[in-house]
Structure 1
Amino acid sequence: MSLNRGKVLDAALRLADEQGLAALSMRKVAAAVGVEAMSLYNHVANKGDLLDGLTARVFEEVTVPDPSLPWESRVRSLAEGLYASFARHPVVVRALAAQDANPRSAGALRVIDALLHALLDAGLSEEVAARSYRSLLGMLFGSVLTGTAGTGTPAAAARVEPVVAYFRRMVTPEELPSLHRVLPALESGDCVQDFEHQLNLLITGLGSAS
């Protein structure tokens, strides 16, 4: 079976998911696709191009909604699609947040364009659409990184007392009344619920701003 850029990037993404970006090398990717490392340079220019390419693959997993749908539906569809794709590949979110990679492909750019199109259709100016896009990405990154903490990273150092037990012991209604009141809700929530809540607030706010 002939090798192409897509197969190289897919193999790199699998390795990054399993071992983390720090362990990713051209040699390992070459071994995964059954070629010598030098053969990869027919399909990727260097490791930076490899990182950009596998990041683009994550964006390309997102389905672009019908542009005739209401802008709210399109923003929600794209945001939820990005969240699901990022959650499958949190290593890529870490690379994006650290500015070690960028989604450089026509397919990835179409996803970004569709999201900006929806924001502009909400009646936002170019400047507010750009800020809203960055805010949405920040919300996505934060939700995914929090929800996947520990995935693909070394095991956390042991503690004598688990953090939940520490909070329950230290947070008293006398000393920390607000934290004590909200603590059960903090313990019972999850990042998916929080992301949906924040997305609802964002879409409502965008509607008010238009």
Structure 2
Amino acid sequence: MAQQPEAGRRTPLNRERVLRAAVALADDIGIEALSMRRLAQELGVVPMALYKHVANKEQLLDGMVDTVVAHIDLPASGSGWKDVVRRRVLSARRELLRHRWAWQVIESRTGPTPAVLEYLDSMIGTFRDGGFSVDLTHHAMHAMGSRLLGFSQELFDASGSEGPSGGAEALAAMAARYPRIAEVAAGASHEAASVVGRSCDDQFEFEFALDLLLDGLERLHRQGWTSAGSAGADADA
């Protein structure tokens, strides 16, 4: 009796395959629509089969975060701390732009996942190996915040909103009440033909802030800055 061809056999299910499929599905349908049942349908298995590899939806989300973070570029050998941090942060941003749901899931976690912890530990190592004190490294990590993972919470919505609804009259009323906001909004340089329309260029603003932070940290590092000295100065003021 002839044996069944290898191509006809189902690919074995494992944790890596489950997580890859979950990431791809979230990319396709959005994180809100992702469910264990929908993922099982995508993989052609019954929902219970998934629970052998992820205990619940929260564990699935943790694994999805780690799958995304694992694709952030590794440090380039022979590069200085500033170049390494910049390149890795921008690599993280590329991953989050590729998987636009990921930042929401990262923020929703009650604590850092293993891959996030490994990434942050590596970034701390980059600062320390670059000659930063433990003190300055501690404050650098606070200053960088979520930007280390490629996203930041903006004061103003940059998704394309052009202000309150109601037409020119409503816009004029807002400008009268908040003249400085209107001044900055009117003076911002936006290209109508840009893919981001008339909203701010998120990538430019992200890199602008990133470079300000890195330049500032470089200056403090050269000065031998410590928080103890800063606290003393504040107390004398």
Relative to its length, the structure with more helix (as a share) is: 1
Alignment root-mean-square deviation, CA: 3.1
* Superposition misfits of 4+ residues, deviation over 4 angstroms: 143-150
Q: Give 1:183 shift.
A: 1.8
Instruction: Structure 2 unaligned segments of length 5 or more: list them.
Output: 1-10, 191-199, 222-237
Amino acid at match of 2:80: P
Superposition TM-score, scaled by structure 1 size = 0.78
Q: 1:71 to 1:104 in 2, by over 3 A?
A: same
Q: Is the 1:56–1:103 contact (alpha carbons within 8 Å) kept by the matching residues of 2?
A: yes
**Aligned in 2, Cα 1:85/1:26: closer, same or farther, shift over 3 Å?**
same
Partner of 1:191: 202
**Unaligned ranges ≥5, structure 1:** 151-155
Query: Are 2:146 and 1:138 aligned?
Result: yes
Aligned with residue 63 of structure 1, among 68, 73, 77: 73
Q: Which moved more, 1:52-61 or 1:32-41?
A: 32-41
- Mean Cα deviation higher: 6-15 or 49-58: 6-15
After superposition, the Cα gap between the structure-2 partners of 1:78 and 1:65, relative to the gap in structure 1 and judged at 3 Å, is: same
CA deviations over 1:81-133 (Å, ceiling 9, x no partner) = 1111112223221122233574334xx54433332222223433334323322
> Whose RCO is larger (CA < 8 A, sep 6+)?
1
Which letter maps to 2:82?
E
Report if aligned partners of 1:56, 1:104 keep a CA contact under 8 Å in 2: yes
Change (3 A) 1:129 1:190: same
Matched with 2:193 is none
The percent of aligned pairs where both chains have the same amino acid is 29
Residue in 2 aligned with 1:53? 63
**AA partner of residue 64 (structure 1):** L
Query: 2:225 matched to which residue of 1?
Result: none
